[in-house]
Structure 1
Amino acid sequence: MLQLFSCGFHTIHHEGIIRNRPYGSGNYTFVFFNSNAEVKLQNDTMIIEKNTFIFFQPRTPHSYREIESPFINDWFHCNGDDLPEFLAELNFPLDTPVEASDPLLISRCIMELQNIYRLDGPLRERIMDCDLRSFFMKLTDLRERTAPHQLNRYYMRFTELRNDLYRFPHQNVSVTELAARLNLSKSYFQHIYKQLFGCSVMIDIINGRLERAKYLLDHSEMSITQIANSCGYENDTHFMRQFKKFVGISPRQYRFRNE
């Protein structure tokens, strides 16, 4: 079981900070730098830019200090008998600066870890174990799906747009209109989208509509025509054809599949 020893979300050091650990911290230490910092890792001194994280092993000599004030970071200390094996399975980077492709995800996860750490209850330790494993797997999944470095600057804006496609599937928007929202040409927008998420924007538009349609078929008494309109289709014929193509059965068959 993975154990969380201490945790800090958006810790602000108004007077700066100096952490000097010539023999390591004694446990695994995750530091997410929200501010630029000078880091000495073993025998190398480097400047770390904000939105970078390092996961230090227990016996790795390291130190860091601010190069701007106030210094802000998210951090936690953890350990576990099977943690080395778990990290090796994920091929998780250790003692290496890693630029975060989704800084908000890291901060949100550490905020939740801090909230759980402060709570009490019979399942607290198990929850922290699950949350820590989930955190490392999410970062690994992001790293494996990360687009080339030069596209990272688009990640947050494209992620927000992608979330909107799934949240508002009834909106009938074109790819040209989506590209215009980000002040990009249609072709370059499509290229970046595919690089970031591994699928075309049209596939996500369709998936968002069909996910909503399946929910309504399962949890409402709306007619097929009403569901088609609610999911952004101009007519139920197009809806039924696309549903059958991607789901494998008709909307009616899907609704009554368990009867």
Structure 2
Amino acid sequence: MQMTYIGHNHVHDMDFKIERPDGCGDYLALLIKSPALFHVNGQDVYTSPNIFFLYQKGTPQYYEAYKQPFSNDWFNFTLDAGDEDFLKKLHIPFEKPIPINNMQYFSLLIKNMTYEYYAGQNYGREALDHYMRLFLLKIAQVIPSLNKGIEKIHHDKFSLLRSKIYSAPYEKWCIEGLAHEATLSPYYFQRLYKKNFGVTCLKDIINARIEYAKYYLSQTNLSIKYIAETCGYENDVHFMRQFKSSTGLTPSEFRLQQYKS
């Protein structure tokens, strides 16, 4: 298994779009951290944040940002002799979004692969081969839990609600309103939400706002106070407290780190 290209933590504007009628020449693995729109077999497939998507070699690739800056990790790879059997045994579906609960873990794997790819050290190719196999094995472990996850009748409804939250994190979301939209009691709504996404709904709302803020902090010179208001916070003190709790950095420290990298 050989890696041909890789990218970690790339952020693009809301007009980001990929159109490759003949694919990219290799297999393409995507970790998408923002809402996205895929075009698969003539159909539009809207996805909530934190999904894995695997394109088979030679398959048309059409995907784009959806109402929010596009954030993703990715890598292209080819298969050596015997690798096709390895991939086939994992039963990872092609061109189908797979929700990822522990996105930080998978993103860290790609970060490590990115270092190996560009460092050019001895045994780098062998290390990348092991990393890719580990990555795909861990993705395969996620798939059975999907089939046991949230009840089928609620799956599409919850995915749409989550997509709405990440598309407009600045809205005044509340459990009661979201539960009403899902036609569930607040208690049952919260239980199913965490069961499906591995995080509480309130924490996910905070995560959506923090990710939204990261984009403005890294891509603009807007004031912290203005960004806090843009992300749905009533005051910048509350915003700064939640941002540091989530990232370990103040908004100013995060912005400075982005400028240095």
Name the TM tier (shorter chain): 0.5 to 0.7
Deviation at 1:68, TM superposition (A): 2.5
Superposition pairs of residues 157-168 of structure 1, within 5 angstroms: none
Letter in 2 for 1:88: K
Supply the distance in 2 between the matched residues of 1:121 and 1:141 (Cα, whole angstroms). 30
* 2:100–2:142 Cα contact (<8 Å) kept: no
1:116 aligned onto 2:97: no
* 2:14–2:67 Cα contact (<8 Å) kept: no
Superposition RMSD in Å: 2.5
2:183 corresponds in structure 1 to none
Consecutive unaligned residues in structure 1, runs of 5 or more: 154-183, 197-259
Letter in 2 for 1:30: A
TM-score, length of structure 1 as denominator length: 0.55
Supply the distance in 2 between the matched residues of 1:137 and 1:43 (Cα, whole angstroms). 30
Deviation at 1:135, TM superposition (A): 0.7
2:9 corresponds in structure 1 to 10
2:52 corresponds in structure 1 to 53
* Rg larger for: 1
* 1:101–1:146 Cα contact (<8 Å) kept: no
Supply the distance in 1 between the matched residues of 2:96 and 2:102 (Cα, whole angstroms). 17
1:139 corresponds in structure 2 to 139
Letter in 2 for 1:44: Q
Please give the secondary structure, in 2, of the residue aligned with 1:150. coil
Q: Give the number of equivalent residue pairs.
A: 156
Deviation at 1:3, TM superposition (A): 0.8
Supply the distance in 1 between the matched residues of 2:93 and 2:14 (Cα, whole angstroms). 31
2:107 corresponds in structure 1 to 107
Deviation at 1:83, TM superposition (A): 2.9
Please give the secondary structure, in 1, of the residue aligned with 2:93. coil
2:209 corresponds in structure 1 to none
Supply the distance in 2 between the matched residues of 1:137 and 1:57 (Cα, whole angstroms). 17
TM-score, length of structure 2 as denominator length: 0.54
Deviation at 1:84, TM superposition (A): 2.0
Consecutive unaligned residues in structure 2, runs of 5 or more: 159-186, 199-261
Q: 1:168-208 CA distances to partner (integer Å, 9 max, x unpaired)?
A: xxxxxxxxxxxxxxxx9xxx9xxx8xxx9xxxxxxxxxxxx
Deviation at 1:77, TM superposition (A): 0.5
Supply the distance in 2 between the matched residues of 1:15 and 1:115 (Cα, whole angstroms). 28
Supply the distance in 1 between the matched residues of 2:147 and 2:88 (Cα, whole angstroms). 23
1:83 corresponds in structure 2 to 83
Supply the distance in 2 between the matched residues of 1:137 and 1:66 (Cα, whole angstroms). 28
Supply the distance in 2 between the matched residues of 1:116 and 1:42 (Cα, whole angstroms). 35
Q: 1:11-65 CA distances to partner (integer Å, 9 max, x unpaired)?
A: 0113531110111111100111111111112322211211111100011112111
Deviating beyond 6 angstroms after TM superposition, the runs of 4 or more aligned structure 1 residues are none
Letter in 1 for 2:96: T
Please give the secondary structure, in 1, of the residue aligned with 2:150. helix
Supply the distance in 1 between the matched residues of 2:52 and 2:69 (Cα, whole angstroms). 18
